[in-house]
Amino acid sequence: MSLVLRHAPEKIGLDLDDAGWAEVDELLKKMATKGVDIDFERLNQVVETNDKKRYAFNEDKTKIRASQGHSINVDLQFSPQQPPEILYHGTATKHLGSIFEKGIIKGKRRHVHLSADTETAVKVGQRHGKPVVLYIDAKAMYEAGIEFYLSENKVWLTNVVLPEYILKA
């Protein structure tokens, strides 16, 4: 589900609108044609219990989308937000050289992901190797005119973190 809602809806022939929403009925039918046969109750359970709150329904639960992390062009209609003074980025130690040289770049994703707590940043970093948490001077970035967005699942998003805004690892 993460693959089709965030990166490759064409894998199952799913249509997403400009804001990344898919019709729930269409998602369930197209998933079933690929051997993933779940009903609405199971889908609802996945949305409600996902530890990262990765998915969201619209108000009447007829549409679903990924909350963030897309590599495809969607407009999640986020409004710029003032971030906390410090945000955190979890990565692996093997990436530190590149990060201190070029900054934190979004790569294939639409945004750089930052968290408001170190625990989440550690979990993210562990997925990539020996974890390290970078402290980001979000206040200085914001004051310099760099925009931040807060996703539905409380992940802070921005376009890039330049090396001068990384306070410490």
- Give the chain's radius of gyration (CA, Å): 17
Please name the residue that has the structure tokens 């009925």.
25
Q: Determine the CATH number of domain 86-168.
A: 3.20.170.30
Answer yes or no: are the C-beta atoms of 64 and 55 closer than 8 Å: yes
- pTM for the model stands at 0.69
Domain locations in the chain as residue ranges = 2-66, 86-168
CATH number for the domain whose boundaries are 2-66: 1.10.10.970
Q: pLDDT averaged over consecutive 10-residue blocks of the chain (169 residues)? A: 91 92 95 91 91 87 88 81 97 93 87 93 89 97 96 89 93
Q: What is the pLDDT of residue 135?
A: 98
Tell me the CB-side half-sphere exposure of residue 136, using CA atoms within 13 A: 32
